Amino acid sequence: MLLIKNGRVVDPVTCVDEVMDVLIDGTHIEEVGHNLSAADAEVIDAAGLVVAPGLVDTHVHFRDPGQTYKEDILTGAAAAAKGGFTTVVCMANTKPTVDNVETLKYVQEKGEKTGIHVLQAAAISKGLKGQEMVDMDALAEAGAAGFTDDGIPIMDEKLLLAAMEKARDLDMPISLHEEDPLFVKQAGVNQGRISEQLNYGGASRTAEDVMVARDCMLALHTGAPVCIQHISSANSVEIVRMAKKMGADVHAEATPHHFTLTEDAVLKYGTLARMNPPVRTENDRLKIIEGLQDGTIDLIVTDHAPHSAEEKAKPLAEAPSGITGLETSLGLGLLSLVEPGHLTLMQLMACMSKNPAEFYRMIPGSVTQDAPADLVIFGEKEHWTVDHFASKASNSPFKGWELPGKIHYTICAGKIVYQD
């Protein structure tokens, strides 16, 4: 038994925000209340700390199978636990692609050995080629968490329409990477002031906007549960807001880098600030925050995209896009959203656990009796410096930053999976 004493329970499911004790027996929460005691329990003194449901990240790349020099399922899960996450959904752009039941099962089986909940999304198209649909029925049956060609936009509207109709029938989420190559001269950097200064082609926000507009209307037409992945453009936020008003079951993700950084980061951090879609202007950043405030954007995800130091040492035009994100996500959420008063801590916890869990058809974590003992314990205003990573990769522009939200414990299924 594990007894967490005097923590501030912040639960986005019940909306409880109160100092209480939490008693864990086995894999589940036995009791939540005041002055709890248990003779033989291990005690965690959580006075001054927040006790919240384990964080849920529904957009990570663990590179396994195929690119395990960047990350593997075990190191990815260790990075997740260090970042306060107890559940992750891996994207399908592995080698081979998760477009078949065998590869899906490989991830699921390896994931079971990690101590956290590792779920896997399946691709929408075979080999992410955008030409032939996967067997969505078989992959759903085998336990895929959802469907996505993340990393690559789906240009074939007919294929996407069929996939959305199938996702609707299966009641499963379908998530979309929105960047029309027609408007991407060179990927990873916003097309604008900084790209011009660097004489780099850049990626226009129109690349995202045209696809978001199309896919919001397809979502409305089909009734499928659709997620706009890593939204980056102010216009796209407005389009999602409008589509939601029209009744589309459309959702959107924001990443910590998109609500923290602007295109100027490329000058300072070089390839470490290269990502798809790129970080853009202060106006885009502020509109993303507004989207989080009014619920237009309901999911915060990391897009944890580990790459090796050698890969990121290449010139801007050749380095791969993406940054490692699991270990800095909570800190950046607190720094960029809660500290300036844009979101309450409760709202942040909803975006980082309840909402992503619900969109992916899981029962959201809650600090209540009989709920699974998946918890994170952190000091909301306790600062720490980003230095070493549990991830194999350290491709982060946030290295050296001082962030709030030091994590003391991550507990999954009643077991301590991270402690500091």
Ligand X SMILES: NC(=O)N[C@@H](CC(=O)O)C(=O)O
**Per annotation, catalytic residue among 64, 99, 209, 303:** 303
In angstroms, what is the minimal distance from the CB of 322 to ligand X?
3
Closest CB to ligand X among 110 and 230? Answer: 230
Place of tokens 């989080």: 292
Cβ atoms of 230 and 59 within 8 Å: the answer is yes
Closest CB to ligand X among 270 and 295? Answer: 270
Phi, psi for 205 (deg, rounded to 5) = -65, -20
Closest CB to ligand X among 64 and 150? Answer: 150
In angstroms, what is the minimal distance from the CB of 175 to ligand X?
10
Cβ atoms of 130 and 160 within 8 Å: the answer is no
Closest CB to ligand X among 93 and 336? Answer: 93
Backbone dihedral region for residue 414 (phi beyond 0: left; psi -120 to 50: alpha; all else: beta):
left
Closest CB to ligand X among 360 and 418? Answer: 360
Closest CB to ligand X among 104 and 279? Answer: 279
Amino acid (one-letter) located at 205 = R
Q: For residue 194, which of 149, 141, 241, 261 has the smallest C-alpha distance?
A: 261
Closest CB to ligand X among 126 and 415? Answer: 126
In angstroms, what is the minimal distance from the CB of 56 to ligand X?
17
Cβ atoms of 406 and 385 within 8 Å: the answer is no
Q: Please tell me the distance from the alpha carbon of residue 196 to that of residue 7, in angstroms, as a whole number.
A: 50
CA distances from residue 322 to 3, 215, 414 in whole angstroms, order as listed: 39, 23, 33
Q: Please tell me the distance from the alpha carbon of residue 36 to that of residue 41, in angstroms, as a whole number.
A: 11
Which residues bind to ligand X, rule: CB under 6 A? Answer: 61, 93, 150-151, 177, 275-276, 303, 305, 320-322
In angstroms, what is the minimal distance from the CB of 301 to ligand X?
9
In angstroms, what is the minimal distance from the CB of 108 to ligand X?
20
Alpha carbon 70 to chain centroid distance? 18
In angstroms, what is the minimal distance from the CB of 76 to ligand X?
12
Known catalytic residue at 284: no
In angstroms, what is the minimal distance from the CB of 274 to ligand X?
7
Cβ atoms of 314 and 271 within 8 Å: the answer is yes
In angstroms, what is the minimal distance from the CB of 255 to ligand X?
8
Closest CB to ligand X among 44 and 60? Answer: 60
The C-alpha angle 291, 295, 300, rounded to 5 degrees, equals 75
Catalytic residues, by residue number, are 303
